[in-house]
Chains A and B, each alone.
Chain A
Amino acid sequence: MAHEETVYDALTNAHDDAGHWAFGTGFDDPLAGVDTTVPDGVDPADLGVYCLMLGDDALVLAQRLTEWMTNAPELEEEVAFGNIALDLLGQARLLLARAGSTGVLGRSRTLATGSIPDEDALAYFRDADEFRNTALVEAPNGDFAQTMIRLLVATTVRLAVFARLRGSRDPVLAAIAAKGVHELTYHRDHAARWVLRLGDGTAESSRRARAGAAAVWPLTAELFTATDVEARLTTLGVAVDPVDVRDEVRGVLTTVLERATLTVPAWPAETPPRGRQGVHGPELADLLATLQGLARQHPAATW
């Protein structure tokens, strides 16, 4: 190949015929050069599904936060949501690429997407019932206070899980988690400080924060029950059983809400996992229609 004349030529020419993925950015495999061997004794199918669970949580929450772009109450918060969404999207890319490296794509029934990188195929060409995210992240944003409380809950759970995953027997998952912990600490503490301002702010901000907590709390019902995949991988030292983070998560959330002079809502009765099994509300299909529409209608689009 002749030497490229510009960076932009390099971007589109350096990656063979798949250069237009992800969408003309030339952002090729985020795990390029990383040893993705699955550890001994670990079922690659289990590991792939587990990475989808963690990756889909991040992808879906990033998409929800992105809905605030051009809509946030002040510019700084729009920038904050955009930055947090970008970090989560980065985590999703790594996790979906890790899922792809286990061969999970070969077991997906809708995919016949040829040279599209695994992470893109998994993000854009799975239907709602193949997503493994929890209900917590797919619920609509609500107002700013509800968005911030959902962000607090979601990042608190994710940080607790990632902190433990730093010791995973899968070195790729451990590395992704170690990187994510730095980011999630920043996200969680940002959301927590906003909940303090809202809860202990004006009568109106406090009213909205209470309503937000009341709307978000029921979504925690399924968070702390392991799926069979999580249970098997926890035994092998690869995954985290979500029940092991329950006390820590509830403790952090209680601390924040009490400091914010908000009443901590009753914890809902725990239910079997639904989102992790691919059972979702219509909200996820709506979200995916926005997320996936362009890729599905114009699979070769570049800009």
Chain B
Amino acid sequence: MSAGAVDARSVASTVTDPELPLLTLADLGILRDVRVEDGTVVVEVTPTYSGCPAMGVMRADLVLALHRAGFAAVDVRTVLSPAWSTDWISNEGRRKLAAAGIAPPGAAPARAPGPVPLQLGAVRRTAACPRCGSPDTVEQSEFGATACTALRRCRSCLEPFEHVKEI
């Protein structure tokens, strides 16, 4: 990898998610590749959810950051496959989430080919309280303020918190 590509990667790695600005795109695992092709910085990103409204802003932020670092030609490309999984959130990203009071995701459910089994019972996701550490927490709402979070409440300290749901 050329020095230019290393520099470009370090610049792209500092760009943050507009909805979770504590996390960089690298922490989130959506920055898939940064390389230089014929003098153009090619950045590959993958959306979290199909409808993630932050993608356009992320693309613009990447272009802006690389322009400011002196890279005139920037091409931000989307990759759809393989689909993003919360398993790609880095350990550093998980630490930052917990420090910000957001419970990081557990392991994503296993994916198998064929029909997807119906789950009618109570949702068995678990998450320790990011404030007091208690494992005794309950889901309040399967959907939260952003596509990637659910709402939970701690039964020990009684505080509500967001949880990045596993996909």
A residues apposed to B, CB below 8 Å: 3-4, 7, 10-11, 14, 25-28, 30-34, 76, 79-80, 82-84, 86-91, 93-94, 159-160, 163, 166-167, 171-172, 174-176, 178-183, 185-186, 188-190, 192-193, 196, 248, 252, 255-256, 259
Contact = CB atoms under 8 A, between A and B. Distances in A.
Interface of B: 44, 47, 49-53, 55-57, 59-61, 63-64, 67-68, 75-84, 111, 113-116, 118-120, 140-145, 147, 151, 165, 167
B120 A10 contact: no
5 contacts: A34-B80, A76-B140, A91-B50, A255-B118, A259-B120
Among the interface residues B47, B50, B76, B119, which one has the most CB atoms of the partner chain A within 10 A? B50
A188 B142 contact: no
A183 B64 contact: no
A83 B143 contact: yes
Contacts, number: 141
Please provide the 6 A-B residue pairs with the shortest distance between their CB atoms, ordered closest to farther.
A33-B77, A90-B51, A90-B50, A175-B80, A175-B81, A27-B56
Contact of B60 (A10, A31, A172): A10
Nearest to B112: A163
Contacts of A76: 140-141, 143, 151
Contact of A172 (B61, B64, B80, B141): B80
Contact of B57 (A3, A7, A83, A160): A7
A189 B119 contact: yes
A14 B67 CA distance: 12
Contacts of A181: 111, 116
Contact of B79 (A3, A33, A159, A185): A33
Given A30-B55, A192-B120, A178 B78 contact: no
